[in-house]
Amino acid sequence: MRDHINTAAKKRYDIFCKIVDNFGDIGVCWRLAKQLANEHHLQVRLFIDDFASASKIIPELDFAKASQQINGIEICVWPTSAINPAEVVIETFACGLPDDFIRKMVQNKSIWINLEYLSAENWVSDFHAKPSPHPTLAITKHYFFPGFEDDTGGLIREKNITQTYNTQNLNCHPDKGQNLVTSTALDSDPRRNDNDKSTLKISLFCYLNAPVEDLLTALQANNHAAFVYVPASSILQNIAKFFGKDSLEIGETLTRKNLTVQVLPFLSQADYDQLLHSCDLNFVRGEDSWVRAIWAGKPFIWQPYIQTENTHLEKLNAFLATFYANFEQKEMLCEAHQCWSAGQLPNDVLQRYLNNLPATQAYTLAQAKQLTAQTDLAAKLVIFCNNARL
């Protein structure tokens, strides 16, 4: 489908991002903005309501500037009535647009897209790209649902994803990233043997309610050495408590029995992607790191964002049923995911998962490659918006 994009129908795109309580919203918006600008050569403005939080993902942000160019994208503070809308306006995750701005969209005949959260639930295909007329104004919003099937909005995926499968070094180490700490447990631990396939490298990124203590307790008693890399986030307090400390510092290394934990800084998106590629198992959360774990082609355990009435568990089970539909050891794998999201990870559940890691690795990589055959989210957005003008 990418070949059918009408490159003559160049448009300006506005993306609105409201940061709630984590970095998934801005993470998704920044990746999408970069892809629309760099791969589709569109003029992109990204409106952000919280520069301080966004600077964790976009460290070049200058808080003193209301508008600035970074990576070919114009980044702006939440707009005033003086801002004229672009031809395409993407409201992400129902963040709500200013009323004055919407009225100007009517005058400009802007295309209005509401980009929804990613889900593998069956109803997504039925609701994808459906119109929703405004109750009082002559404008229609279209709901765009990312998903895993061809009849959804697809997944965020850059052009070079397939190249990484061919060029990535499966034995590379997380400490080799450009901005990662330069002295790590992998370099200093005397048990380290680069040819020892039994050494388990794990990245850990999760919400506060994840059973981190269960995981670390099991890994310290594991038969093989386990190295856990933890990018700075709120869970450092839980890890500090496990090791009997009040707090942890960036670059700190802690060891107990067969477990070594390395505290990494908050990583750029490029460095985080590299970390996922470098590890044998990735614990991820939310949406952005979840999708990146899929593209890394490595085994992962996903923790969805917690919702009321356990709606997030329905989302988890829908993904497990879709992604692992043809996996022989599906029951074992689903149990590990479900326990992690439920807040308890029994040792026997983790051990069964680790015992099946080679099979999970092969299946995950095959699934990731299969998904790259689908049209990606940015391309589907451009195709939809170009056709909306016809």
Hey, which residues are catalytic here?
A: 25, 287
> What is the DSSP code (8-state) at residue 111?
E
Tokens read off for 384: 């939809």
For residue 348, give the 3-state DSSP assignment.
helix
Q: How far is CA 182 from the centre of its chain?
A: 25
| CA 38 centroid distance within chain | 19
Q: Are 319 and 120 in contact (CB under 8 A)?
A: yes
**Cα–Cα dist 285/293, whole Å:** 10
Between CA 237 and CA 261 the distance in angstroms is: 13
Residue bearing tokens 């670059």: 251
Using CA atoms, how far apart are residues 44 and 265, in angstroms rounded to an integer?
A: 29
For the chain, the residue count is: 390
Determine how many CB atoms are found less than 10 A away from the CB of residue 43.
16
Residue 13 CA to residue 147 CA, distance in Å, equals 22
* Amino acid present at 120: A
Classified as helix, coil or strand, 124 is: helix
Could you please report the per-residue DSSP string of 294-333? Answer: HHHTS-EEEEPPP-GGGHHHHHHHHHHHHHTTT-TTHHHH
Strand order in the sheet with 88-92: 67-70, 73-77, 43-48, 12-17, 88-92, 111-115, 140-144, 130-133
d(CA 223, CA 377): 42
